[in-house]
Amino acid sequence: MRFFFPDSQDQVDPNFDFDTEEHNPFRVRQRDDLYAHEVLTGAPFDGLLVSKAIVDGQAGSSAGKYTVAQRHRLYREGARQFFRLDHGHTPLKIMGDCGAFSYVSEVRPPYTVDEVIDFYAGCGFDYGISVDHVIFQYDPAASTEKARDEGWAERQRITLELAERFLDRCETRRARFIPYGVAQGWSPASYAEAVSKLQDLGYRHIALGGMVPLKSRDILACLAVIKQVLRDDMEVHLLGISRCDDVPKFAEGGVTSFDSTSPFRQAFKDDRDNYYTPSRTYVALRVPQVDGNAKLKARIRSGEISQGTAMSLEREALEQLRQYDQDRTDVDSVVRALARYSEVWDGKSDRNGQYRETLTDRPWRNCSCDLCRRHGIEIAIFRGSERNKRRGFHNLYVFEQQLRARQEGRTLRDRDLRV
């Protein structure tokens, strides 16, 4: 089972100073900042997935997340050089898709087949996914009439029509990347029907789309029916799915690869599951920057609290955390400092019990990943992108280790990641 990490230009500055919160003044982001596969010994994934919508945006409606300079550099250098796929410890593959979630409200996908092929070929991708149209709804009991009335059948028809044209144009243009056809559906039977048609068209690689909102039992129900029509030589990719515990069952259902940002995004998007370990997750220790927290800035502007007081509490919380990591203070002192600052910037959430667990267990001391070994407690502090992204990279490291353990039929334990 291969794991692809969707790119959104997530890098860290290896020379960032955590004490002064400063970057090197001569830093050039694209040249100096590093991807996860460069900062970790052993890439935490098998490849990257890059969406056209992220890079190019949609003509006339929205811009992508890449700057003009980044986009031009990607096309000029090609994906392997741009992402430095061969500069890490493990050579990586790269897959491209259209980013169908970005245009889900459109009547038809905004890209032509040839525009998408131009993107894949121009960037030098190893795999390219056909143009698709997401079906969000899932209703195993839906009648043909309902599927037609709700527009689900039309979206499936469009997706299959574009997949046929995509494969034809890839052959005509002698594309060097391996084409994936997308199957969209609203039930196990409709997914199986789409897979069967894609196989008849000549596809040997299929991506299953629209399953992100589904529960694992629904995905497995779809895979069970798909397996009945799936040929032995097929490769199947799950778009946007990363449920590690279900990987063995997904593999039994014919899945050979998947992609997801969940382990990374949980580092700074989740309310509590911010730091991964093999046995559990921990909440990160929140110390937001005074000038970077909207709530706190509003209270300062209103005169409710002075900026000087806020900055003093912020510095005290950071100092206590660092003292604790050097065994020069105790848990109670750190929790009190975090609580005092939390009253100023938050005032509602009480995470003292969760903080106490994180501090008492000190999970970063039991992790062998390069980032935890280098940065210590800094990686557990919820504060700015340099720390948060590093914690996300750590989560990818643990997730990859869990994935390999599941595939080998063993349980990953905390001591397996110890230095």
Q: Which residues are catalytic?
A: 97, 259
Angle, CA of 217, 184 and 213, to the nearest 5°: 40
182 in Cβ contact with 132 (< 8 Å):
yes
Cβ-based burial of 111 (10 A; exposed 0-12, middle 13-18, buried ≥19): buried
Residue found by looking up tokens 């990686």 in the block: 379
* Side-chain-facing half-sphere of 39: CA atoms under 13 Å: 27
Looking at the DSSP bridge assignments, the partners of residue 237 are 207, 257
CA 92 – CA 74 distance, rounded (Å): 16
CA 78 – CA 81 distance, rounded (Å): 6
276 in Cβ contact with 268 (< 8 Å):
no
CA 176 – CA 250 distance, rounded (Å): 29
For 302, residues 6+ apart whose C-beta sits below 8 A from its C-beta are: none
* Side-chain-facing half-sphere of 329: CA atoms under 13 Å: 18
Nearest to 89 by CA among 39, 34, 14, 15: 39
160 in Cβ contact with 209 (< 8 Å):
no
> Packing angle between helix 384-407 and helix 262-269, nearest 10 degrees?
140
CA 166 – CA 96 distance, rounded (Å): 14
The secondary structure element, H or E, covering residue 97 is: strand 93-97
Q: List the structure tokens of 418.
A: 């110890």
Q: List the structure tokens of 324.
A: 């604790």
- DSSP 8-state assignment for residue 59: T
Residue found by looking up tokens 């741009």 in the block: 82
